[in-house]
Amino acid sequence: MTAVENGPLLLAHLTDGPGYAAHQARFGPLPKADLGAIVAAADAVAVRGRGGAGFPFAVKLQTASRAGRRTVLVVNAAEGEPASWKDSSLAQVAPHRVLDGPAVVAAALRVREVHVVTPVERPEVGASLRAAVAERRSAGERLRWTFHEAQPRFVAGQARAVLELMAGRENLPVTAWQPEAVAGHRGRPTLLSNAETWAHVGALVRLGPDAYAAYGRDGHNPGTTLLTLGGDGDAVVREVAAGTPWTEVLTADQLSRPVLTGGYHGTWAPSGALATLTVSRSEMAAQGLALGAGVVITSAPTACPVERTLRIVDYLAGESARRCGPCRNGLPALAGSLRSVVDGIGQLGRVRQLLDIVERRGACAHPDGTARLVRSLLTAVPEEVDAHLGGWCGYRAPTRPLSLAGAV
């Protein structure tokens, strides 16, 4: 497990340990809440999904509850992205925080079963949640928890890929004609959210909307958010109040260089851009930046963002479901074209052409996310892209034509 820092809300009281007895002693029994109260509270403090898309939880819950059939609840702890550790860490250090949310919603919906999806490549996550479920069962909880293991692929954590896994099919995304809140698992309305989102729902029900909102830095950004802070060293999971200035999260040295926000499907922030912004989805989106699942990748002084992007796109091209043209053909071609730019023999026009080809044409969000990453590179560090097109890299020392690197 990566390093986890003590936080203000979800990651508070880590020294208590992950056990149910300590959880109950600290927070007391889980309050009962009717569906309307949960929807109203989630809407009041604008709880949004923490898996990347940021969809309003209240809308998903209300949609699923009105679909006319019994709702399926899913806790998605399969992050998929190798750079993200916040759900895995939360599930290990505070598993009952994660389970409180679906438990209270299940009671409100009169649902008897919750599905939990964990990553097979991180077995400690499933072990922690299974142990927590066993504790709750021993304490008299009657809710049934059904576990599934997602495959170690980047796209395996996508909502439709999770539903395919639960149905006994290959753990890959498929084209969705309706939202899963309308028609998800076996055609039933499905409320699928990631581990952090469910933990926020549980904390909201325990605290109430006013107390929950107070954990944010201002009235526009209630609550907290989990970040995975990584780079060229070990990652750290940190919980921060929503609206916290990035100057309190990253060092001045880190902010002086390009920062990748939102992970592999995220965006490059130009040097210094985050220094005037806060940890706010809306504020960052207004500047064309993505917070996504809270992955923040900083760079060492000698780390070239163009070369790092190429490595990521190479990886993403190999992680696709290969079920549509943009994934099967477009992403490998995009990776190849970007490699030519890195090597100083490519054409930027070809990269842009391929971006136009893969965007908004895929069977899932994978091509769009990859294209977003590359487009952000072109706008965040245009001078470095131009340097590579000219056969140079400004991050190499001594600087010399790339074609000569290693020749002497």
Could you give the CA distance from residue 376 to residue 66 in angstroms, rounded to a whole number?
39
Reading the block at residue 287, the tokens are: 């500047």
What pLDDT digit, counting tens, does each position of 258-299 carry? 999 999 999 999 999 999 999 999 999 999 999 999 999 999
Residue 293 domain-assigned?
A: no
- Among 177, 195, 213, the domain boundary falls at 213
Residue 243 domain-assigned?
A: no
Shared-domain flag, residues 208 and 357: no
Model pTM?
0.94
Q: Which amino acid is at 361?
A: R
The domain of 321 spans: 305-404
Q: Would you give per-residue pLDDT tens digits along the chain (408 residues)?
A: 589 999 999 999 999 999 999 999 999 999 999 999 999 999 999 999 887 777 899 999 999 998 778 999 999 999 989 999 999 999 999 999 999 999 999 999 999 999 999 999 999 999 999 999 999 999 999 999 999 999 999 999 999 999 999 999 999 998 888 899 999 999 999 999 999 999 999 999 999 999 999 999 987 889 999 999 997 668 999 999 999 999 999 999 999 999 999 999 999 999 999 999 999 999 999 999 999 999 999 999 999 999 999 999 999 999 988 888 889 999 999 999 999 999 999 999 999 999 999 998 888 889 999 999 999 999 999 999 999 999 999 887 544 444 433 322
Query: Contact at 8 Å (CB) between 100 and 30?
Result: yes
Task: Classify residue 395 by its DSSP letter.
Answer: T
CATH number at 312 reads: 1.20.1440.230
Query: Contact at 8 Å (CB) between 77 and 176?
Result: no
Could you give the CA distance from residue 69 to residue 182 in angstroms, rounded to a whole number?
9
What pLDDT digit, counting tens, does each position of 315-362 carry? 999 998 888 888 999 999 999 999 999 999 999 999 999 999 999 888
Question: Domain total for the chain?
Answer: 2
Q: What percent of the chain has pLDDT over 90?
A: 85
Residue 218 domain-assigned?
A: no
Task: Encode burial over 162-177: b for 16+ CB neighbours within 10 A, e otherwise.
Answer: bbbbbeeeebbbbebe
Shared-domain flag, residues 206 and 326: no
CATH number at 64 reads: 3.40.50.11540
